[in-house]
Amino acid sequence: MHDIPLTLVHPDLSRRPAYACPHGYRVRSFTDGDEDAWVRIEVLAGAFPDETKARRQFATEFAPVRERLPGRMLFLEHVDAGAIGTTTAWEGEFAGELRGRIHWVGIVPEYQGRGLAKPLLSAAMDRLAADYARGYVTTETISYRGINLYLGFGFVPWVESDLDREGWAIVEEVLGRRIL
């Protein structure tokens, strides 16, 4: 599959579905020492080829603002397995305004496909909605399962170019659904 970067926007964060964790799971906030869990999850989920690159990303992006991570960087935990998923309710400049941003969503492969990203994303969206009216998420065509999840949470495609339209056509074909 041709990998094309895509962006989805959420026009009204007050309107979003809510999902509770199934029995045996919980969502918790970042605490000191969770860098290792973030690195492990993101590498296993395929965001980075190895721990060195994941640690470098964490050091660049999150370590300088570590005090902002509690309440924003979230982990999905299984009662026996520990942290198996993560995302960050972050922020960023988008279309000329500061918006809430869903950032670095990852679930370890053994737990993917079970609907577990829904309660994790739900908790992150709750956090964003407390501070922002609108949100966004960046992704790519190869993350079509994640895109399907975001669409279900009220995100819509942001289309500015022919490359964007090409990317959305790929996602429509893979998912077997009309999006644009």
User: pLDDT for 118-128, tens place per residue?
Assistant: 999 999 999 99
Structure tokens belonging to residue 163: 């490359």
Residues ≥6 apart with Cβ < 8 Å to 119: 19, 20, 21, 22, 25, 27, 76
How far lies 64's CA from each of 61, 67, 89, 92, in Å?
A: 7, 8, 17, 16
Cβ atoms of residues 172 and 179 within 8 Å: yes
Q: What is the pLDDT of residues 135-167, one digit of tens each?
A: 999 999 999 999 999 999 999 999 999 999 999
Q: Which SS3 state, helix, strand or coil, does residue 35 take?
A: helix
Closest CA to 139 of 110, 161, 106: 106
